[in-house]
Structures are given as C-alpha cells and as structure tokens.
Amino acid sequence: MEPVTDLRAVLFDYSGTLFRLEEDDSWFAGITVDEQAVDGHVQAELMRRVTAPTGSAVPMSPEQQHNWSRRDLEPHLHREAYLHVLRESGLTGEDAAALYPKLVDPASWTPYPDTAATLNGLRAAGIKTAVVSNIAFDLRPAFATAGAAADEYVLSFEVGAIKPDPAIFRIALQRLGVDPAQALMVGDSEEADGGARAIGCAFALVDPLPTVERPDGLVRALREHGIEL
C-alpha cells in the first residue's frame, strides 16, 4: 500500500487499538457460569463476547437485537444489551450486574505499550489526532491515566452515529479541519473502522492482541503509511 502523501491527521479506534479490556481474576471472585467456577478459558470467552467490535455471540429476541444494535448510542441500552449477553453466557442476573460496571470503567482498560508514545509523538510532529469510538461511556479518563491525549474524542453516544456510518468519520475530520484524503484511520475492525475508506481516508488494520503481545503495533502501522515517530 502506498503511503498517504501530506498526511495531516490520524484517527484511532479505542478498543483493541489504543486500549484493551483485560480482565482481572478478582472480577470473577464468587461468580459462576452455569453454576461452575469461572476458569481462564471461560473468562477469555466472556471477554471475547463483550469486546467483539461487530456481530453478536448469543441468541437475541428482536427487542434484544434492537438494544444490541443501538448499544453504543444510548448508555441504558448498552447496559441492557451486555447484561443479556452475560446472562445468556451462563451468569446469574446478580453476577452479571456485578461484572458489568467493570466493563465500562475507564480504569479497567489497559493501554497498549506504544499508545502514549504514538499519540504524543504525532502531536509533537504537528499531526492531528482523534479517537473515533463506538462506545457508550466517557473514555477520556483512561487517556489521562495513561499520560496521553488526542486532539478530539468522537464518541458514538455523544455524536449519535456509529462506525461504519460515514457520518462519524466526517464529524472527526470536520473537528480537526482536515480533508479525508489527508487522513489515516487506524483500527482493529475491517467492517467498522474500515468504513473510513468510504469517505476517502486511508486505513490501517491492527490486531487486537493482548497488550503484552503487541508492543509496537501502532508504530508499525504508522510506519507503513510513511510516518516515523
């Protein structure tokens, strides 16, 4: 792929790109799945179900599917949708309600090793940045804790659009004052984040590996598009 010429902005997805929701064993203390203690494999499957960027992993009624499809637009629907996923995955209603707050707590999210250096390096180089996320809670505190910041945060529940809707990418670029042809979108989903291509942005795909297994994924993605930090 040819590097973007005159690149002036980089847009980033949040989950699986800049940060990753990585469970702590303490979250599952006293919680059972189908009345069995939760082991590592079950934890991993639960986290996969609640962090997958697209699709659904459990059966849903039409009403539940509606909640799921709009979960990143309205926080109360987000809660209902994820409680359903957890219950369908074998948790009791009480255990699902106890686990859900961990999923939407910015303090629960782990930054990738190169997140802060990437965002801060781009800003130092005069390249504008925006976080463009399908999300139903304010993630800004996670960046403050990580010692990083973007120029803009374009969050689906705040702007009323979800990726791959071109509107959310346009909002980000309008706020940054940058033309799509001069922007790169970085994300872990071809379907959601790759939607930026529809308005003329370049796109770089990263693998949502555990943070310890992806030390420089962001740096490598930018290098492939002609940006050296």
Q: Does domain 9-18+112-225 bear CATH number 3.40.50.1000?
A: yes
Domain residue spans of the chain: 9-18+112-225, 25-107
The Cα-based distances of 164 to 9, 130, 194, 214 in angstroms read 19, 16, 7, 25
Q: What is the per-residue pLDDT across 56-109, written as a single tens digit (0 to 9) for each?
A: 778 888 998 988 899 999 999 999 998 998 998 888 899 999 999 999 999 999
| pTM metric for this prediction | 0.90
| pLDDT for 132 | 98
Rounded mean pLDDT, 126-143: 97
26-42: per-residue pLDDT in tens?
888 888 888 777 777 77
- Is 53 a residue whose pLDDT tops 70? no
Residue 39: the pLDDT is: 72
Place of tokens 């922007």: 183
The predicted pLDDT at position 54 comes to: 66
Across the range 142-150, mean pLDDT stands at 96
Q: Give 150-204 pLDDT, tens digit per residue.
A: 999 999 999 999 999 999 999 999 999 999 999 999 999 999 999 999 999 999 9
